[in-house]
Amino acid sequence: MAIPYALLYRVGFTPWTRARPVLADRLAALLRTEELTHPEGSPALDIGCGTGEYVVQLAERGWRACGIDTAAPALRTARQLAETRRVTAEFHRADVTDLRRTLPSAACRDYRLLLDIGCFHGLGARQRWRYGAEITALTKPGATLLLFAFAPGRRGPMPHGASRADLERCLPDWQVGETPTAAPASVPGPHPSGAPPRWYRLTRMP
């Protein structure tokens, strides 16, 4: 059963937000590397952007930033955050498993950088295959996907996690690499001992 994120935002139950300061610091380091490859002003998409903190971070660093989510309450907060921080960013209500239909036609269709912090690892098997097809259709060879995921494990209604093999299977047009593992103690969340969350760096192949 899909996690009812819109409802959780509405009632204020968003435990994943506790990890954002830690992840934002690590993301900054990863982005410094990407900025050596992709020119300033390159289009970037945050998949499952929630309340927009990472989209704003991208915009402040010079990316042409866009965020998508299915939770309308989160997107309203994201737009307010961008206005408060005085950055230009786009936010759209769209489904990553059906981007070509749900993403507005005026939105960018040639992203150089994709960011996924906690989306893929919460999807079901069929959704993951569609995710792979949709993001591939919106990128060209050389694009980068920075993806953060918990290791696989049973966590009740929470995301069940994803492995490198899951990524390689569902994103066959992407070369999967890893970055240093996030320290278990520094990232709040339901990850079991000995199975810390991990950042992956994927490159769109020709």
User: Tens of pLDDT along the chain (206 residues)?
Assistant: 456 655 555 665 565 566 676 788 889 999 999 999 999 999 999 999 999 999 999 999 999 999 999 999 999 999 999 999 999 999 999 999 999 999 998 888 899 999 999 899 989 999 999 999 999 999 999 999 999 998 887 655 556 789 999 999 999 999 999 886 554 445 555 444 445 789 999 999 99
Closest by CA position to 119, among listed 89, 99, 137, 138: 99
* Cα–Cα distance list, 15 to 8, 9, 139, 149 (Å): 10, 10, 31, 15
- The pLDDT value given to residue 192: 47
How many domains does the chain contain in total? 1
Q: Determine, yes or no, domain membership for 134.
A: yes
In a domain, 182, yes or no: no
- 119 vs 50: CA distance, rounded Å: 10
pTM for the full predicted model: 0.87
pLDDT, position 152 = 87
User: CA-CA-CA-CA torsion for 143, 5, 15, 188, nearest 10 degrees?
Assistant: -30
pLDDT digits (tens, 9 = 90+) for 174-190: 999 988 655 444 555 54
Q: What is the CATH number of the domain that holds 144?
A: 3.40.50.150
Rounded to an integer, what distance in angstroms lies between the CA atom of residue 57 and that of residue 123? 25
pLDDT for residue 49 = 96
Domain of residue 24: give its range. 5-148
Q: How many CB atoms lie within 10 A of CB 173?
A: 16
The whole-angstrom separation of Cα 43 and Cα 59 is 10
Q: Is residue 188 part of a domain?
A: no
Q: With CA atoms as reference, report the closest residue to 49 among 13, 25, 76.
A: 76
Answer whether residue 177 is part of any domain.
no
Q: Cα angle vertex 87, ends 35, 46, to 5°?
A: 55
Cα angle value 33/90/56 (rounded, 5°): 45
Does 204 reside within a domain? no
